[in-house]
Chain A
Amino acid sequence: MIALENVSKTYGNHVALAPLTLHFPARQTTALIGESGSGKSTLLRLLLGLIVPDSGTALFDGVALDHSNRDEIRHRVGYVIQDGGLFPHLTAEANVTLLARHLRRDPEWVGGRVAALAELVHLSLATLRHYPRQLSGGQRQRVGLMRALMLDPDVLLLDEPLGALDPVTRFGLQQELKTIFATLGKTVVLVTHDVGEAAYFSDSLVLLRGGKVVQQGSVDDFLERPADPYVTQFVRAQRGLPPETAH
């Protein structure tokens, strides 16, 4: 479905991505994990053509992403960032329907799609009439997801989608997102630094370090067949609750 072939990206002296090749299996959820600055977000942006690689290509359905087909491919990819990335001057609904209206989709179809998506993400149509600043963090994220799903894309890219939320909201949304991904059957690539979240959502994980892939595989592979001591170190870095308060 989507893949990166030999892509590299350097900012001045800083190597953001060493030449790497990655294939993201269709209709599966892949989590990109790693520390801050490991190249996760750079990788996601390359898939959308938001940054141009120094070498190599991003492929979409076997077609190389370039200047001429960029916008067309973006219409088939939903992109969600931390806190939704909503445009503050537009109501939630206008955010969701912006692209569809620009592409002059049938208003009736747009209305039906908004209603269906609102139900999917558990938002009322009244809430959608508000501006982003009038919504809670969780609501904004749901609207961001609606906007990404509006044109029923084949691919969904999420960059730390739950990173700005409080733990309770986050916990609830994790469950909902997992259901949504399972229902829709889309190719999903998710960036997170939370191993637990990655394991909960994903069919496979990709661990990045210093712009290189350390290991790609299932959670079991990571736990039982670590490719490198760093894999174990990264997975164990997740702090559980102290035993005495767990009772």
Chain B
Amino acid sequence: MIRVLAILIATLPALCFAQDTLTIGSKRFTESYVLGAIITQVARDAGEAKVVYRPGLGNTGIVFAALRNGAIDLYPEYTGTIALELLKGKAQPTIDDLKRALAPLALGVAVPFGFSDNYALAMSAQKAAALGIRSISDLAAHPDLKFGLSQEFMNRRDGWPALKAAYHLPFSPAGLDHGLAYAAVAAGDVDVIDSYSTDPQIEKYHLRVLADDRHFFPSYDAVLLYRLNVPRRFPKTWAALQKLAGSIDAQQMIAMNAAAELHGQSFEKIAASFVRTREHHATAPTPRRTPFLTLLFGGNFWQLTLQHLMLVFVSLALSIAIGMPLGIWAAKSPMAGRWVLPAAGVLQTIPALALLAFLIPVTHRIGTVPAVIALFLYALLPIVRNTCTGLADIAPSLQESARALGLPAAARLRLIELPLAARSILAGIKTSAVINVGTATIAAFIGAGGYGERIAAGLAVNDNRMLLAGAIPAAVMALVVQGVFGLLDRWLISEGLRADTVGEKA
């Protein structure tokens, strides 16, 4: 067990710093997944570089940070987003403007795919007709309307705050995951949502896209945002990617988004069929649902399982290595006891996604390293606490017997105190392991892989089957971990401590 963990820790750096690798990212919504899969496919077909794909990275801030510090080399982005959100510059730049602005960051834009995906506000066509709403300006007359906007849109400079000011809108919207927004508007839970002009759901849910009568939204042309050293490092791959320029029009993009969101096709399949039929101009892929079991065990199931186990157990090993000494210290020194446990408790209260996002600039990485650090911090508390209480709960008469024998402190700890506290300590480690299996699913938001990748993708495209294909194995893994610790308990805990006479006062 310990040896396996040691090997995992030893190979960790190798996993992170593999050389001569082109790393492609994508953001956490359907279209970005589709474009990311297409770019990855084309790059792999070029046969030059080892291509790593990190799909579904958090939000714009996370993926842009990853690009700037070289954790990824390129990803699909939109000109409007680059100008306003990332460069804080003017609203309607040309590609050349962007190139000039990005050059000092050693970044560039290229390969306009041939369509734009503009922000828009949408509402039920029926309700819009009933209220006589045709444009965004018309909304101001109906202050009772409920807005449900994606977190990213609500907080972007070019998003809600600017829109509200430009149109003098009186609403205070609620935050809503974009994958859920259409279902919410269809159910009547919200009236107005933000949408993208290439969303296939607009048609499916009979929504009306409100006219931008004051021309507020800039143009969002889909392009590649890349590190300037990519063409030099991978000339052949770069040439192949250049050919993607102008290859996708808005109708095609809507069709591909529909294949993913409405027909449950995998992004890889959509990308493959796009690349295959590019010469003959792609038509919408034939919609066919994958059986759930294929979805569950197919594709990268074992790779995700391995990643998930690695995340859980490498972080757990670190937590044990640091947490047990801290727990012993807290039990032995009243001064340490006063701050070690509260400090570990505070760590537990930091929201997982916030901690992950914070660790990216600190570690200059995305993926495994910040994820393992975050999981390590979360796993500390149960181990520290149970080590401390396990030691503190040893009957005073037993502690005195150990001292009276004339055993030095280190020997007392090793021969008597730790074995007596073993049950409590093991229970703490079990709690940490089970929590880690669950928390590790969030690590997918920063590209650390694991089952969370499916959950993030399922959430992004509002695909419950995809979501379950990630959630079910994670739940099963948690149960298996629980069971394994039950066996460890039988193995490691002295027979003399079992049965109901545990903690007997001598």
A residues lining the B interface (CB < 8 Å): 45, 48, 50, 70-75, 77, 79, 81-91, 98-99, 102, 131-133, 147
In contact, B496 and A89 (Cβ under 8 angstroms): yes
In contact, A90 and B494 (Cβ under 8 angstroms): yes
Of the residues A75, A79, A88, A132, contact of B420 by C-beta under 8 Å: A88
Q: Quick one: closest A residue to B499, CB to CB? A: A133
In contact, B405 and A81 (Cβ under 8 angstroms): no
Of the residues A71, A83, A132, contact of B407 by C-beta under 8 Å: A71
> What CA separation (Å) do A188 and B255 show in the bound complex?
95
> B327-366 interface mask toward A, CB cutoff 8 Å, 1 = contact, 0 = none?
0000000000000000000000000000000000000000
In contact, B496 and A90 (Cβ under 8 angstroms): yes
Known: A50-B400, A79-B401, A99-B407. A89 touches B420 (CB 8 A): yes
B506 sits at the interface (CB 8 A): yes
Q: How far is the CB of B500 from chain A (nearest CB, A)?
A: 9
> B490-506 interface mask toward A, CB cutoff 8 Å, 1 = contact, 0 = none?
00001111010110101
B174 sits at the interface (CB 8 A): no
In contact, B406 and A88 (Cβ under 8 angstroms): no
B408 sits at the interface (CB 8 A): yes
* A77 contacts across to B, CB distance below 8 A: 404
Known: A82-B397, A89-B420, A89-B497. 9 other contacts (CB 8 A): A71-B406, A71-B407, A83-B506, A86-B506, A87-B398, A88-B497, A98-B405, A99-B405, A133-B499
> What CA separation (Å) do A98 and B494 show in the bound complex?
15
B416 sits at the interface (CB 8 A): yes
Nearest 6 interchain pairs by C-beta: A74-B406, A131-B496, A85-B401, A89-B494, A79-B404, A71-B406
In contact, B406 and A81 (Cβ under 8 angstroms): no
* B243 contacts across to A, CB distance below 8 A: none
> What CA separation (Å) do A3 and B479 show in the bound complex?
61
Q: Quick one: closest A residue to B496, CB to CB? A: A131
The size of the chain B interface, using a CB distance under 8 A, is 26
* A91 contacts across to B, CB distance below 8 A: 496
Q: How far is the CB of A82 from chain B (nearest CB, A)?
A: 8
In contact, A88 and B501 (Cβ under 8 angstroms): yes
> B449-487 interface mask toward A, CB cutoff 8 Å, 1 = contact, 0 = none?
000000000000000000000000000000000000000
* B402 contacts across to A, CB distance below 8 A: 87
In contact, A133 and B496 (Cβ under 8 angstroms): yes
* A131 contacts across to B, CB distance below 8 A: 494-496
* A73 contacts across to B, CB distance below 8 A: 406
* A83 contacts across to B, CB distance below 8 A: 506
> What CA separation (Å) do A147 and B406 show in the bound complex?
12
In contact, A132 and B496 (Cβ under 8 angstroms): yes
In contact, A102 and B404 (Cβ under 8 angstroms): no
In contact, A75 and B406 (Cβ under 8 angstroms): yes
> What CA separation (Å) do A72 and B420 show in the bound complex?
25
* A90 contacts across to B, CB distance below 8 A: 494, 496
Q: Quick one: closest A residue to B405, CB to CB? A: A99
Known: A50-B400, A88-B497. A72 touches B406 (CB 8 A): yes
Q: Quick one: closest B residue to A71, CB to CB? A: B406
Known: A87-B420, A90-B494. A48 touches B404 (CB 8 A): yes
> What CA separation (Å) do A77 and B405 show in the bound complex?
8
B236 sits at the interface (CB 8 A): no
> What CA separation (Å) do A84 and B504 show in the bound complex?
12
B419 sits at the interface (CB 8 A): yes
Of the residues A72, A74, A84, A88, contact of B404 by C-beta under 8 Å: A74
B403 sits at the interface (CB 8 A): yes
B15 sits at the interface (CB 8 A): no
